[in-house]
Amino acid sequence: MSALGHYLEEEGIATVAIGLIRPQIENTKPPRALWVPFELGRPFGPPGDPAFQTRVILAALRLLERADGPVILADFPADDPREAPDPSWRPPAPAETVAAEIAALAPAYRDRLARSGRSTVGLSGLSIEACGATIAAWLRGAPPPSPRPGYSAPLLLRFAIDDVKAYVLEAAAGGARPSSRQLGDWLWQRSATGAALHALRELCLASDDERLKLIAGNFIVPAARVRA
């Protein structure tokens, strides 16, 4: 997007980029850019906080008023307010399997869905129970065929993994406001889902299927959470 900004500017269209990785912005030198010190994937700050997100957007748009270019790089002056841990949050009780964890978290998920009216679960098109069963089958070495036309079994596995991660994280948050680090530590260090996904990653990396290796290397466990 930073490179695209130069082309748009040449056509007379003013641009502003919002960047999460400062060295990348410094190297690509977009005409105007606002660096934000937030978690990757959250360029406007924490979800569910429109007032803070508005501050970010306005800070970016104000760069259009400046004339001290040709390259303007500004730093957003505040951290994500949700980075601080929520002392009222309690992680879910341990579960033995992904299926057991899904079942145990079902009431919390339904409650959060009723309160928020939205969810990021649904990419695979499968029920959450079927997503859990898909992961379990791959771990047993008996990958099921894809039930969806046009979706290969490895691709559906990737989407099932995304749905299960979204489901357990949304449910685990409950009625509190845990930081993303609190949720991430629980998922990757203490949950049955995290343990299963660590094992699945290793299994897929050892496969001869290049598609599985690609999924394992990029989509199952975040690089920062990979066990040494």
Q: For 199-209, write each residue's pLDDT tens digit.
A: 999 999 999 99
pLDDT at residue number 69? 73
Q: Quick check: 19 and 2 in contact, CB under 8 A?
A: yes
Distance CA 144, CA 138 (A): 7
Span 13-66, pLDDT tens digits: 889 999 998 998 888 888 899 999 988 788 999 877 899 999 999 999 999 998
Phi, psi (deg, nearest 5) at residue 18: -115, 120
Whole-structure pTM value = 0.78
Number of Cβ atoms within 10 Å of the Cβ of 54: 12
Residues making up the chain, counted from first to last: 228
CA angle 183, 99, 138 (to 5 degrees): 100
- Show me where the domains of the chain are located: 2-82, 98-225
Q: What is the DSSP string of 18-83?
A: EES-HHHHHHH--SEEEE----TT-TT-STT-HHHHHHHHHHHHGGGG--S-SSEEEE-S---GGG
Distance CA 36, CA 78 (A): 8
Per-residue pLDDT band at 138 (split at 50, 70, 90): very high
Q: What is the mean pLDDT of residues 165-192?
A: 93
Expressed in percent and rounded to 5, the helix, strand and coil fractions of the chain are 55, 5, 40
Q: What is the mean pLDDT of residues 136-150?
A: 94
Q: Which residue carries 């997007």 as its tokens?
A: 1
DSSP-derived secondary structure letter, 12: T
CA atoms in the 13 A half-sphere facing the CB of 71: 10
CA 160 to chain centre: 14
Give the pairing type, strands 17-19 and 72-75: unpaired
CA atoms in the 13 A half-sphere facing the CB of 36: 24
pLDDT at residue number 2? 66
